[in-house]
Structure 1
Amino acid sequence: MKGYMAGMKILDSLDNGLPFLKMHGLGNDFVILDARKADVPMTAAMAQAIGHRYFGVGFDQLVVLADCDDADVDITFWNTDGSTAGACGNATRCVARLILDETGKTDLTLRTGRGLLSVTEAGGGLVSVNMGQPQLDWQDVPLAREVDLVELPIEGAPGAAGMGNPHCVFVVEDVESLDLHKLGPIYEHHELYPERTNVEFLQIIDRNTMRMRVWERGGLPTLACGSGACASAVVAHRKGLTERNVTIKLDGGDLQIDWRDDGVWMTGPTQLVFSGVLSTDFLDKIK
């Protein structure tokens, strides 16, 4: 807890450069900026510069925190290509961990592009987030036209679901042998997905366990994807392959996904890695 509180204290001042935190959830890593006490002038160019793993800090998503009247905090997600995302499950858990420790609460409400999300302290360093009900209408995912979301008219018959962002979920025999760098871009930019899509590949181990690998929209494979795990659990259950409560084994570790009557709950760990400050020289060079 002390590490989190110390990290949040660093974000209190923006006098010299721009303070940030680096966190990850199962290797899905994030830069977190706090705009609650001072303005953070985010732009697509700024997200791209910070996200570069050689010339910047590097992240899978960038997170900006802001004050909110109807929730404990408002969260905006940015991808490495400078676009924004409506949802990011692992980043939501990381922010939840910070705010739980900052406030001493055991339950929170967070606002994202997905809407208001409920959070609860799960014990043992774990955080549970209700990611809301899946979007199962073709217009909400969104898709380009009306199709069967359980079996899309794409080779391999993937399923589709929205979790505040679009997902295309394949069930395969051997997930380890897949070339994500080859397949990911093909389906990310498929004509059926007008806003591009995250692409998940599942291997069913049993009715309560799956192995998943993911290519995230924005052009990169990641070690974990919380919204992708939620969407995958939904698609697998709708295909009749699993129960509603499953363990999903990702490259970075395990997530517990439980599709309940009130939404898809995701439970997993978080880790604060380090705090830092983006120099004014670095920021001044961003066009």
Structure 2
Amino acid sequence: MSDSTGATATPAPVEVPPTVDTAAVRELLGAMKVTLGNLDQTFRTLNEQSAQVSSLGPTMEMAVTQLSSLRHQIRNQEKEQDIRVNEIRRMIKEEIKVKAADEMGQHIRETIRQEITKQAKEQISLQTNEVLPVPLHKQTEESRRHLEQVKNALANSEARRKNSVLRPSPNNLNDELALVLRPDGQKSKLYPANLHSLFAYDYNKSKALVKDFGLHEHGVLEKNLNGFMAHIGIQFELVPVPSSEATQTGSSVLMPMSASK
């Protein structure tokens, strides 16, 4: 140990009290040496770690710089990505608008066309009804039916005129009856060929005959036949013959009698 003048001072001799245990002192000194050794190792370790930290300093700074640059690049990429995404969104919106407008335009044009067609049909139908209250095809059909009815009426009138000349004479019983049509203009399947055939009808057949022509049905044979004959233009009636004047079988017969005035 040196003083302020640089001279080395000689340590004063340590006086060991006679009462101090020498072994204890040696043990204490040994412990102090161990402690000093540990402190020296600790200082060396700290110096080494400091050196390592110092050597890592530029690397850490470089890493920080690189990280900062990377974050900057990422932010730039995010901005560019946002710009592209926004542009795509704008294009999609514009395309949707154009497509929607085109589809709506087509729908509007089709709706207008249908409405014009509908209104045109309604106007034509309205004007036609004002001029022709009954449609042409109905008028044609009605005219055809009316013409057919007129023709049938004329034919029936002519047939009745021919039948009216027949008389209640045996010579006329086989004369052909002029055909009188049913109300529907058709020939009746029950229409008799002549008076002889007509007089041979029984009650059920006479009833079916007058029903076929829409005439009144009676519960008596001669009334049904008389009604039919009057309808087809025959100018006389039939009456039953009394049983005393009947045939050998004793059944009733019908004989013609002049019509009452």
The TM-score normalised by the length of structure 1 is: 0.18
Specify which structure has the higher proportion of helix. 2
| Bigger Rg over Cα | 2
Specify which structure has the higher proportion of strand. 1
The TM-score normalised by the length of structure 2 is: 0.19
